[in-house]
Each structure stands twice: as structure tokens, then as C-alpha cells.
Amino acid sequence: MGCSNSKGLEENAGATGSTVENPGNSRPTSVRAQSRGSAITEKKIEVAMKVRRRHENVFAEAPDLTGGFQTARFPKSPEVKDTIRKALQTNFVFSTLSSPEIEDFIDFMKMEKFMVGATVIKQGDPGDFFYVCEAGNFTYSVDGKTVGTAHPGSSFGELALMYNAPRAATVRADEDSVVWSLNRQTFRTILANSSAQQSDRIIESLKKVEILQDVPYSQLASLAGAVQLITYAPGDKIVKKGERGNIFYMIKSGTVLCTDAGSGSKPQKFSAGDYFGEKASAQKDGKELKVFKEGDFFGEMALLNDEARVCDVVAVSDKVVVYDLDRTAFNRILGSLEDIMKRAVSKRTKQNAKAGFGVGGKSGGSSAGEGTSLRDIPKSQLKDVAFLGTGTFGRVTLVQDKKSGETMALKAMSKAQIVAHRQQENVMNEKNIMVLCNSPFILKLYATYKDSQKLYLLLEFCQGGELFTVLHTAERDGVPEKQALFYGVCVISALQHMDAKSIAYRDLKPENALIDKDGYCKIIDMGFAKVVRNKTFTLCGTPEYLAPEIVLGRGHNRGVDHWAFGILCYEMIAGYSPFADLQNMDQVVICQNIVKGKLTFPKGFDPNCKELIKKLLVRDPVARLGMMKGGVQTICNQPWFKDVNWEDFASKKQIAPWIPDCGDPLDVSNFDPYDQEEYYDPNFKDSGDWDKEF
């Protein structure tokens, strides 16, 4: 394949011991299949099955961003507030919140009292509340065994603030106790509204800057993510005359004074909604300052060069809060302002020429390509052949067209479960996104059906099974570096196609990549995919693949897919994900590891792949590889991919490292032979027309 030489995993024992390369084109035996008929040790099964369990999806209800959400504030004494404040400040879920945000959540927390012996949390129950202990003591137990305690100042149940996972432990009061509770809906809605409003405010400010008016909305949203919020006290000098500057400022609140010291000019005040920066708006001779009104902008020179400041800007109100954007961040996201100006002039010249002289011609093709056209295949024309697997809301079955003999996969989804989990929008997105996509690396949608109980997607059938069963076998976890590179090219090609259409996939993991008859990966399951141009706030995905911004609830964009791609590259080679809790599979520990972001690599990890992963697993989404100028192409340009012939991959000229035996079109041996009962609710009656366009 022409990839850089690497010893791959021969040096790396990975998570479960030695690594064995798959000889030739023999099928990597899945853990389930191997465990039924071989002498594999129980320990290997136990570890490998932990990997399987960790990849189940989690999701939370979408927060209310309509502005109609209301919640009560509960009075507290200063002592109680201090107890809660200290508990929140030491909990990772609240670690990135500002002091005003923490004070808000303190006000929203409600007092609850529990008598001795009372159960606060029951293991296995769905969780909605987070607690801080004010008085009393509690015991944690798992399967009846004591595993910990809570005392005044302790907090527990934080996972419930992120998503509706079953409680991992039972918590009982050892004595009469008092706690303060916060529910997930309040936490995520307040946090999402705060973040969304701030982002919208910054974007609207940036749109007023003339030179940025040709910048696409999605890139302005990226710029908004790079803006820093800075607070100044009265008398603080924000800009000093004579200093070199590279920062553009926007006032969020408060008042500042702009003076040209020694020039004899009159001071000029700037308030919320005004802008100031490199040259403010002073005349070159410094004799007078222009009056600025709301909607004016200045300071673009700060984004172009580092000429000396020509005036002083001082905070004069009780508190001044400004947004600042530095030239380095600007250039990283959009490129140089000089280039943007040239592109804007070129674009306007072409528009004027076309308008004035009727210039015509064909437009260039988009790398995103056209969407998929559905086929007319009646559901009655399909016959069931075999069970393939399970989705979030139902089963996937191998079916055969009675007329043509073609085999396809039919995904059935229970309406009752969709409605119960309030996932109607996501399910509709799945169908719409699949129609929008047309890539050799994304599973094709052929047709859709529905009845009173279910929705159906008729899909392309990939006989090679899941990428998961290639990575995790009875003999090993992980694959050699060159094999990982092959699958990585397939996956990043799919992500690049979706990125060009502003689609955030949000569910990348080995189970969601199928191997086709040629051994190539195809991304499947668009249940969490969504067109995102700014930020979205619904938590969804797989715990170990969640980006920090999803865990913390501050809103996310397509950058979460770049993070997840970094996780996948790591797991493909190491055999486990970088933030896993392999001992206890504790989801709280996993989320803590993600937020902390401490990254270590096994011995012998390919250096080029390691460097790629480091650039992808950056906590700040604005600085993450793929979110800067050049987009996903900057990922493809990394040294790990330097010998890849992308055209050969797109046309499938590259020979895959493993090709499934697909002699029989009805063969399902590459899928784990397990089944589950179909969900059926005889009392379900759908109200509404949410699936009208399905």
C-alpha cells in the first residue's frame, strides 16, 4: 500500500497480551464465535467482552432552547451555599464553569431530606438527579457490596447530569440526612442556553465586520469558539498606546475610555455593542477621535498586522467584559485576513461581471457530490433470511428481493421506543442524512417503509461484518498499523464527505463501520447524525468516544467527529481506547479521563499515527486538527497518510488487508449469531405526524 514502514503492534502487547497478525485472508474469529467452540481462557473472554459492553450508545433529551424553560430558585443560607459551592468546584462536571454559572446552579438546587435507611439511588434505575450532601452520611453499594461512603460536602450521581444511564450503585442514608439536588433537564438546558446565547451574540458581532461578510456562517461560528471572554476592573488599561497589538476587541458589557495621551484630543467612550482595536478609529495625526455608535466596527488592522497602538483604552465602569480575538487564532481558522480580502474582491468582481455582462458557464462540481436516489422496492417484495444484529430501537435483518434475488439489510425501529426516548427528530435525521450522502464509504439507503408500530430502512448489505470483530478477536485486540491505516483512510473519507455537507456524525465507533465484500469500511447508522453549522447541545454517542465538549454540555459541532476519529485510530492499534477504565468500566471514571485529557501510548506505537492522534485529541475544539483552515483535508495531509493514493481508495483499486469470503450472498457467518426479542407495545398508539415525511 506504500505506507510508511512500521512495526505496528508486534512490539505492543496491547490490553490483553500478545498480538497476532491475521495470516492471509483468513477471517478474524469473533469473541462470541470463538468462545463457543474453543479452549480460549475465561480471562480473555472477560476482557474482550468488557470491550463489547463499553460500546453501547448513550443519549440525553435535547435541551429546551426556545427560551420557554423556567425553573425555580431555592433560598439557602451563606453556609449552605458555601458547602455546595465547594462540592461543585471539585466535581469534574462543573470544572469549566465560570463563577456566575456555578452560583446560578447553586440557586437552582433543591433541598431533600432522607430518613435513616432510605434509598436515594437504586442500582439499575434510570438516573435524573445529582446530589450534594449537606448533613448526614450515605453508603454506596454495588450488588449488595459496600464500595464507598458520602459525607457532608460530598457529591454523587453526576453521571445523571450528562445522560440517562442506569444507576451504577445503590445509595442509602446511614442516618437522617439532608441533600441538595439538581436534575439533568435544568442543568443541560441552562448550560445550553447560556452557551448558545453567547455564541449567537459573538457571531452577530462578527457579521457586522465588513471584511468578514463573505465568510460562511460555519466559519464565523468557529471564530466565535476562539473568542475569549475577559473581565476588567475600573482603571485597567485594555490597550496601551505604542504597544504592538494583534487583538481585536468587542465589548460585551461596561464602558471604556479611548484617549490619545498628549494629543489634546477629547476622550471617547465606548459601550456594549461597540468595537475597538488596533487603530481604534483615530486619525493618523492623532488630533481627534471619531465617535462610534452601536453597530460600528474597527480594529480589523489588529487581524492584519502588528502595527503599534495609537491610543490608550481604559475600563471606566464598575466592570468591563470584552470578547477578544487574536490574530493567531483568526489565521488558524480562516487563514490570513489579507487572503480573505483578496478572495472577497475576486468574488465581487466575478459577481459584478456576471451581473453586468451575463457571464455564464458550468459551475465546478462539489467534492460533497450529489445525494442518493431511493429505489422503488415494495416491502412485500422482501423475504426475511437471517438476523444480523440490533440497533438502538430494534432489529436488523438480512432480506432478499423475491424478484431480483438481491440481498439487503432491513433495519426496523420501534415507534414506541423512539417516542419514549424522545428521539423522533434523530430518527428523521437518520433518513434525511442518508439521502443526502452518496459516498463509497457510507452505507447506502435503498428505500423506507412504515406501519403503525415501526419505521423501516432498507439498506445496503455488507457481508464482512463489523470492524469491531476485526479489531477484537479471541486471539488479539487491535490490528497491525498498516491494516489500521487502511481502515482509517476509509473512515476519514466518509467523515470528509459528511463534513462537506455540514453533517456531524456523532456516533463513530468500530461497531458502526461494516466491511463490504471488497474489504473496505463503510460508515453506518446515522441515528445521531445532524446538519450542524454552529453548535448543537444534545448529548449522544458512546462514552469512550465522547469529546470533552459533549461531556461538559457546552455545545459541540463537527469537531467531535475528529476527536472520535482519534479515539478510533488509537483503539485500532492499541486494542483499547485511550480513556478507558478497563478495570471497572466505570462511566464516571471514563468521563473524568476524557475531561482531564491525559494521553499515553503503548510501547512501539507508530510515531506518525501517534502525532496524528495527539493533534486530534485536543481539548479545545477550535484548536483541534480538522477545525482550522483547510478543514478535514488537514487531517488527510498528515504524515501518517503520506503514501496514500486517495483516488485508488475511492475507486477501490487498493487491495484490502482482509477480504471476506462472499461466495454465498446469503452467508451471515461474519455476524455474531445472537438474537434478541423484538420490542412490541400493544398499547402504543402514535399521536402526531412526526414521521409524516419518513
**What pLDDT sits at residue 346?**
58
Q: Is residue 522 part of a domain?
A: yes
**Which of 13-22, 56-65, 278-287, 489-498 is most confident?**
489-498
Question: Does the pLDDT of residue 294 top 90, yes or no?
Answer: no
Q: How many CA atoms lie within 13 A of 179 on its CB side?
A: 27
Question: Does the pLDDT of residue 373 top 90, yes or no?
Answer: no
Q: Which of 126, 142, 175 is the last residue of a domain?
A: 175
**What pLDDT sits at residue 256?**
80
Judge whether 488 is annotated as a binding position: no
Judge whether 394 is annotated as a binding position: yes
Average pLDDT, stretch 113-129? 95
pLDDT band at 518 (very low <50, low <70, confident <90, very high): very high
Residue 171 sits in the same domain as residue 286? no
Question: Does the pLDDT of residue 552 top 60, yes or no?
Answer: yes
Main-chain phi, psi angles of 505, to 5 degrees: -75, -50
Separation between Cα atoms, residue 88 and residue 97, nearest integer Å:
10
Separation between Cα atoms, residue 296 and residue 208, nearest integer Å:
8
| CA 480, 482, 485, 487 torsion-angle sign | negative
- Please, which contacts does 403-408 make with residues 24 or more away whose CB atoms are closer than 8 Å? 405/665, 407/461, 407/665, 407/666, 408/382, 408/446, 408/458, 408/459, 408/460, 408/461
Specify the range with the lowest mean pLDDT, choosing from 314-323, 377-386, 547-556, 577-586: 314-323
**What pLDDT sits at residue 398?**
95
Question: Does the pLDDT of residue 554 top 80, yes or no?
Answer: yes
Q: Which of 341, 363, 393 is the last residue of a domain?
A: 341
Judge whether 473 is annotated as a binding position: no
Average pLDDT, stretch 204-209? 82
Q: Which of 341, 360, 380 is the last residue of a domain?
A: 341
Residue 481 sits in the same domain as residue 626? yes
pLDDT digits (tens, 9 = 90+) for 605-624: 999 999 999 999 999 998 89
pLDDT digits (tens, 9 = 90+) for 7-25: 333 333 333 333 333 333 4
Considering only CA atoms, which of 545, 569, 544, 564 is closest in space to residue 484?
569
**Catalytic residue selected from 499, 507, 516, 691:** 507
**What pLDDT sits at residue 50?**
44
Residue 492 sits in the same domain as residue 612? yes
Q: Is residue 221 part of a domain?
A: yes
Q: Is residue 440 part of a domain?
A: no
β-sheet with 170-173: strand ranges across: 119-121, 170-173, 138-142, 145-150
How far are the Cα atoms of 268, 289, 302, 432 from residue 238, in angstroms, in the given order? Answer: 14, 17, 14, 49
pLDDT digits (tens, 9 = 90+) for 75-103: 999 999 999 999 999 999 998 888 889 99
Q: Is residue 415 part of a domain?
A: no
| CA 592, 598, 602, 604 torsion-angle sign | positive
Question: Does the pLDDT of residue 402 top 50, yes or no?
Answer: yes
Residue 208 sits in the same domain as residue 330? yes
507 belongs to the catalytic site:
yes
Residue 489 sits in the same domain as residue 636? yes
Cell of 430: 437518520
pLDDT band at 3 (very low <50, low <70, confident <90, very high): very low
Q: Is residue 507 part of a domain?
A: yes
Judge whether 537 is annotated as a binding position: no
Judge whether 245 is annotated as a binding position: no
Which helix (H) or strand (E) covers residue 384, if one does?
strand 382-390
Measure the N-to-C terminal CA separation of the chain; round to a whole number of Å: 42
Domain that holds residue 139: 78-108+116-175
Q: Is residue 318 part of a domain?
A: yes
Average pLDDT, stretch 246-252? 83
Q: Is residue 672 part of a domain?
A: no
Residue 532 sits in the same domain as residue 623? yes
Q: How many domains does the chain have?
A: 3
Residue 584 sits in the same domain as residue 550? yes
Residue 120 sits in the same domain as residue 155? yes
Judge whether 444 is annotated as a binding position: no
Question: Does the pLDDT of residue 461 top 70, yes or no?
Answer: yes
Cell of 313: 483604552
List strand residue ranges (DSSP E) for 184-254, in order.
228-232, 237-239, 247-253
Q: How many CA atoms lie within 13 A of 398 on its CB side?
A: 20
**What pLDDT sits at residue 61?**
72
Residue 93 sits in the same domain as residue 39? no
Residue 296 sits in the same domain as residue 157? no
Judge whether 388 is annotated as a binding position: yes
**What pLDDT sits at residue 464?**
94
Are the beta carbons of 314 and 235 closer than 8 angstroms? yes
Domain CATH for 267: 2.60.120.10
Domain CATH for 624: 1.10.510.10
Residue 542 sits in the same domain as residue 580? yes
pTM for the structure as a whole: 0.78
Q: Is residue 572 part of a domain?
A: yes
Residue 88 sits in the same domain as residue 133? yes
